[in-house]
Structure 1
Amino acid sequence: MTNIQALREKIANLATQAKNLLANKGDQTWTPEEQAQFDGFTNEIEAAKRQIANIEKMREIDADKFFENAGKEGKGGKQGDDLSLNALEAVALFMRFGNNVTAEQAIQIRNAMSTTTTTEGGYTVPAEIAAMVIDAMKATGGMREIAQVISTAGGNSLNYPTSDGTAEVGEIVAENAAASAGEITFGTAAVNPYKYSSKKIALPWELISDSAIDVVQFVTARLAMRLARITNAHYTTGTGTGQPFGVMARTSAGKTGTTGQTLTVIYDDLFDLKHSVNRAYRRNAKWMMNDLSVAIVSKLKETTGRPIWEPSLTAGAPDMLLGYPVQTNDDVAVMAANAKSIAFGDFSQYIVRDVADSVIMRRFDDSAFALNGQVGFCGWMRTGGNLVDTAAVKHYANSAT
């Protein structure tokens, strides 16, 4: 399999060449040959990034043999006197064999995994597995990477305090004079959790019982991916009715595209969007857009023909647009008439709220699966989100015509 490190080094090398080309040209007008050379660099960079993403996806289902010993032991348990199981081993046994384990193993599974509904086989997973789920979710979608993520002990309603102080100013006072009143206006934004399900997945019994498969990583990754996709969609475009408020639903318009920009955006409109956000929020600002929009924006040029897109020099670091990082989020609308296709601002003002110890997993062995030689799994978690300061992020809407 292609070495990821080699691909990352290739990206860094190509990005260096692209940066050097930008620096050497300065404000000079680009020739068609120079533009083609720069486009070649950026196209190769994007191709290498996609190849890395594909390799990482395949690694989710590769056999790492991490739980080979647990699979070989099966019902017989560990050899020797030490029958203790750590949390990951307990989860692995639960996933592989369900309730078909020894009495000693059943006790240790219950000790490692808090029971929720024992008659239904549901377990609140240990912290190690919950962290794996959250990490997998963070890598999918984009919102968890740039939002502020908090965890609360309970799932009760939470009204987060809000206050926009960008228009507040002080004053000069005369000697021995009293200061004027400058009241702060506070509001609230609801950040309430919702119960999410991965939906059931059916896996062949042979796959689950195969000791060569890291069953914890395999199952967790699949469940987490589904949870990540639905929650990221709601963090991005949720309506706030029966689901969290998405960031795009809470932003106000920073710039509407000029006539004719139904499927595109122009250089001047990006500048206007950037400056529609108060400078206080631009210190920690980012761009956010769909990958298809990235393909459009990355080709924009200054009046001299110089690209305004700056490819990253470091693998894993974001590309830059007009001096600010770009976060790709495919749940942002693609460019179309009236579409809110680009957002800019301080996304740390979007709060993602997770309820602690709410990641639950259940294994299904009922006839609906057993008759097909399958084992079923489903995951749940409680989470929500809201943009608590609506002045922090603005959006670009494509022209209607």
Structure 2
Amino acid sequence: MISIQALREQRNEIAKEMRNLLDSNADGKWKENGCDAKWTELDNKLRDIDGQIEREQRLLDANAEQRFNALAGGGRENGGEGQPSAARQQYARWLRGGQDALTAAEWTAIRNTMSTDTPAQGGYTVQTDVAKAIIEALKSFGGMRQVAEVFTTAQGNPMSFPTSDGTAELGEIIGQNATATGQDPTFGQVGLSPYKYSSKIVAVPLELLQDSEVDIEAFVRSRLATRLGRITNTHFTAGDGTNKPKGLFPSLGVGVAAAAGGATTVTYDNLVDLQESIDDAYAGPNCKWMFHQNTRKVIRKLKDANGRPIWTPSYDAGIAGSSPDQLLGADIQINNDAPVMGASNTPIAYGDFSYYKIRDVMGVTLFRFADSAYASKGQVGFLAWMRSGGAWTDIGGAAKTFQNSAT
């Protein structure tokens, strides 16, 4: 079996060959040298190897999951390498056995490091090391937390970002001894309120809790992170602002619209025009593309005026510091909550997405339920709550969208 490292090396060689093919066949030589067939052959090989790497990585992740979760707690007991911290050991015991699984001394220590509002049914506020693990897991969903500015506040009180649009303001030339004209700036504000999110209840069979070989802590954490991650990314991307955050795409202005007949397509010129719709004041490494995976399938087939593909494959995929896939010189963030191509849709965004602010209030809170509603079914329930909000705070056009035509 080929190792994942060998597969990555093969992929890198193909990506370099593709890039060299682009660089060495500029100025109209692409069609003249018959490069289309070679590019298609290399691109098919690249996709095949990407699939193999993904499958191998899933296998490696599955094999390493138990060790990873053991090491993720940070501190170690008695200096024992690979042993979970005391807090995580207590947390795992509580998951399995509830309140009775911990001693009075352990509960005293826990109460010193957690919120005290525990309900009569045995609620438990996640301790610091566990809560951070859940928050970090949210980053792997959708992409909004990877490009937005994320911050945490200690309280959930209303928050506003002051705004001022000075793009139309100019200075002046005046004559000697003349009085300067006045022009007062105007100010506004963008609100950022948190919303209460539930993971929905995860019901775990008693048989699973009693099986000492099962890492129930990782199982519960994964389920809660998946549910909270998906719902928040959906709202941060496409929320309409009614009883939920207003998402990135509904908040952006249209930078370029397709001509009639472009209801399900995008052209090379459309993408260039979208890039150029962003003022140079926002230009820089923070400017990125964002779109759905289905949109990527369309864009990867686009070519420039010389017939060369405009999609540039990455180097050293899977390695820290690697060169990512790029489109017209800018990095790409895939977000499968973004709109897909369709009549009057806005499936592509470009710009500096750090002006979208994501606010988390305190940490994630986890509860355990072992009352009769679950005991009668031989289950224990787990539920996580989080308070989070998001808003687009720029008023000057730091990012814009491409819009498909209506027909």
The answer as to 2:252 corresponding to 1:251 is yes
In the alignment, is the contact (CA less than 8 A) between 1:191 and 1:384 conserved in 2? yes
5 Å-filtered alignment, 1:292-307, equals 292-307=294-309
What is the alpha-carbon distance in structure 1 between the residues aligned to residue 272 and residue 253 of structure 2?
A: 16
Q: Secondary structure at the match of 1:335?
A: coil
Assess, with a 3 A threshold, how the Cα gap between structure 1 residues 3 and 113 changes in structure 2: closer, same or farther: farther
Question: In percent, how many aligned pairs have the same letter?
Answer: 44
Deviation of 1:117 after TM superposition, in Å, equals: 2.2
What is the alpha-carbon distance in structure 2 between the residues aligned to residue 178 and residue 261 of structure 1?
A: 54
In the alignment, is the contact (CA less than 8 A) between 1:236 and 1:332 conserved in 2? yes
Assess, with a 3 A threshold, how the Cα gap between structure 1 residues 28 and 254 changes in structure 2: closer, same or farther: same
What is the alpha-carbon distance in structure 2 between the residues aligned to residue 396 and residue 23 of structure 1?
A: 28
5 Å-filtered alignment, 1:169-180, equals 169-171=170-172, 180=181
**Structure 2 length-normalised TM:** 0.85
Match of 2:394 in 1: 389
Q: Secondary structure at the match of 2:246?
A: coil
Q: In angstroms, what is the RMSD of aligned CA positions?
A: 2.9
Question: What do residues 216-272 of structure 1 show as CA deviations (whole Å, max 9, x unaligned)?
Answer: 332212211111110001001111110001011111111111111111101111111
Deviation of 1:282 after TM superposition, in Å, equals: 2.5
In the alignment, is the contact (CA less than 8 A) between 1:237 and 1:247 conserved in 2? yes
Match of 1:18 in 2: 18
5 Å-filtered alignment, 1:215-234, equals 215-234=216-235
Deviation of 1:115 after TM superposition, in Å, equals: 3.8
5 Å-filtered alignment, 1:333-372, equals 333-357=339-363, 359-372=364-377
Unaligned runs of 5+ in 1: 69-77, 79-83
Moved more, 47-56 or 34-43: 47-56
What is the alpha-carbon distance in structure 1 between the residues aligned to residue 373 and residue 3 of structure 2?
A: 42
Q: Secondary structure at the match of 2:99?
A: coil
What is the alpha-carbon distance in structure 2 between the residues aligned to residue 326 and residue 11 of structure 1?
A: 19
5 Å-filtered alignment, 1:119-138, equals 119-138=120-139
In the alignment, is the contact (CA less than 8 A) between 1:67 and 1:211 conserved in 2? no
Query: How many residues get paired?
Result: 387
What is the alpha-carbon distance in structure 1 between the residues aligned to residue 221 and residue 180 of structure 2?
A: 59
Q: Secondary structure at the match of 1:378?
A: strand
Assess, with a 3 A threshold, how the Cα gap between structure 1 residues 206 and 10 changes in structure 2: closer, same or farther: farther
Unaligned runs of 5+ in 2: 71-77, 79-83
Deviation of 1:277 after TM superposition, in Å, equals: 1.4
In the alignment, is the contact (CA less than 8 A) between 2:90 and 2:102 conserved in 1? no
5 Å-filtered alignment, 1:230-241, equals 230-241=231-242
| Structure 1 residue identity aligned to 2:123 | G
What is the alpha-carbon distance in structure 1 between the residues aligned to residue 345 and residue 67 of structure 2?
A: 47
Match of 2:338 in 1: 332
What is the alpha-carbon distance in structure 2 between the residues aligned to residue 344 and residue 130 of structure 1?
A: 33
What is the alpha-carbon distance in structure 1 between the residues aligned to residue 307 and residue 170 of structure 2?
A: 42
What is the alpha-carbon distance in structure 2 between the residues aligned to residue 10 and residue 100 of structure 1?
A: 55
The answer as to 2:102 corresponding to 1:116 is no
Assess, with a 3 A threshold, how the Cα gap between structure 1 residues 158 and 375 changes in structure 2: closer, same or farther: same
Q: Secondary structure at the match of 1:224?
A: helix
Identify which of 383, 386, 398 aligns with 1:378: 383
| Structure 2 residue identity aligned to 1:374 | Q
5 Å-filtered alignment, 1:174-323, equals 180-283=181-284, 284-316=286-318, 317-323=323-329
Assess, with a 3 A threshold, how the Cα gap between structure 1 residues 4 and 220 changes in structure 2: closer, same or farther: farther
What is the alpha-carbon distance in structure 2 between the residues aligned to residue 143 and residue 304 of structure 1?
A: 35
Assess, with a 3 A threshold, how the Cα gap between structure 1 residues 94 and 191 changes in structure 2: closer, same or farther: same
Assess, with a 3 A threshold, how the Cα gap between structure 1 residues 118 and 30 changes in structure 2: closer, same or farther: same
| Structure 2 residue identity aligned to 1:234 | H
In the alignment, is the contact (CA less than 8 A) between 2:356 and 2:391 conserved in 1? yes
What is the alpha-carbon distance in structure 2 between the residues aligned to residue 335 and residue 107 of structure 1?
A: 56
| Structure 1 residue identity aligned to 2:214 | I
Deviation of 1:122 after TM superposition, in Å, equals: 2.4
Assess, with a 3 A threshold, how the Cα gap between structure 1 residues 262 and 276 changes in structure 2: closer, same or farther: same
